[in-house]
Amino acid sequence: MRLGYHSITWGGVVGAPQGVTSIKDLHYLSHGSIEAAVRDISAAGYEGVEVFDGNLVAYAECPDVLTELLAATGVELVSVYTGANFVYADVLPDEMHRIESACRLAARFGASRLVVGGGARRAAGTTAEDYDRLAAGLDTVVDLAAEHGLEASYHPHLGTIVESPDQLDRLMERTRIGFCPDTAHLAAGGGDPAALIRRYADRLRHVHLKDIDLGTVRFLPLGRGELDLPDIVRAVREAGYDSWLVVELDAYDGDPREAAEASRAYLQKLLDDLGA
């Protein structure tokens, strides 16, 4: 297995403010320096990085800056994360326009995977049709990604209509998109991450590892929270998955590099102990 790290820890996650009035411009992004993130991720011993679609947009007109950085650090752009509401028919074309743009940029910088979150909660309440709309939208994402040589997977997320195991089941039976388990989000949604990985072993296409304090719903470096990470990694291995494990930590009070190093040390020891 190869180890990657998400750049989110350098600046946290925000949304582009122009998206309030223009859905097609509503990208995820982190406000920290991508250059600093990639250098720190490399120094911490990771081979790959995942970034938000909005951070790639910043390099659309100066691609050499990012490609030269990746080459100099020996870090591979593994995956790009994006998302959408998916349930609002009127704005869906603009959301798909943005996702297709993300696919194009991801491929341009050498990524092989697109990770997608979403499924908005309506103010008036979620309808049964919302899962159908989300599933249909995700199937379209699969095709858009494939057109650019990318493999797409869905990331269940707190704050969407896919938090709990039942909600995940409800979606997965309706769509053909791959599964990207986020171990902390699955646990916070009331699920057993290892059990859900085993349930959808044949759909496993990408993995996000993060730890969590379930009492405070605070995300933590690997090994500092409550998750049974050895069983989670065993479940990943049982699925026959032998590819990227991407560590993700939304925020950290100290030096982001320190957090990356701590998770890297824990994960490497875990993989060595398991013979992975």
At 65-122, the pLDDT tens digits run 999 999 999 999 999 999 999 999 999 999 999 999 999 999 999 999 999 999 999 9
Give the model's pLDDT for residue 23. 85
Band (231; pLDDT cuts 50, 70, 90): very high
Residue 160, token pair as written in the block = 């969407």
How many CB atoms within 10 Å of residue 2?
13
pLDDT recorded at residue 2: 97
Residue with more model confidence, 18 or 264: 264
Distance CA 61, CA 31 (A): 18
Q: What is the pLDDT of residue 19?
A: 75
Q: Does pLDDT of 200 surpass 80?
A: yes
Residue 21 has pLDDT above 80, yes or no: no
Q: What mean pLDDT is predicted for residues 30-48?
A: 96
Residue ranges covered by each domain of the chain: 2-274
What is the per-residue pLDDT across 130-186, written as a single tens digit (0 to 9) for each? 999 999 999 999 999 999 999 999 999 999 999 999 999 999 999 999 999 999 999
Q: What percent of the chain has pLDDT over 70?
A: 100
Write down the pLDDT at residue 52: 97
Q: Is the pLDDT of residue 20 over 80?
A: no
Among 161, 217, 167, smallest CA distance to 187 is for: 217
CATH H-level superfamily of 2-274: Divalent-metal-dependent TIM barrel enzymes (3.20.20.150)
The single residue listed with the structure tokens 């103010």 is 123
Side-chain-side CA neighbours of 244 within 13 Å: the count stands at 28
Residue 137: exposure state from Cβ atoms within 10 A (0-12, 13-18, ≥19): buried
Band (229; pLDDT cuts 50, 70, 90): very high
Rounded to 10 degrees, the C-alpha dihedral 89/159/37/138 comes to -40
**DSSP-assigned states of every residue in 73-94:** HT-EEEEEEEEE--S-TTTHHH
| 252 against 15, higher pLDDT | 252
Please, which pLDDT band fits residue 36 given cuts at 50, 70 and 90? very high
pLDDT above 90: residue 25: no
Return the structure tokens found at 259. 């957090």
Q: Which residues are paired to 80 by β-bridges?
A: 51, 114
Q: Where are the alpha helices (DSSP H) in the chain?
A: 34-43, 53-57, 63-73, 92-108, 128-147, 165-172, 183-188, 193-199, 229-238, 256-274
236 to 17, 24, 61: CA distances (angstroms)? 37, 35, 38
pLDDT at 195 over 80: yes
Please report the pLDDT score of residue 11 as a whole number.
92
Compute and round to an integer the Cα radius of gyration of the chain: 17
9 secondary structure, DSSP code: G
Span 12-30, mean pLDDT?
82
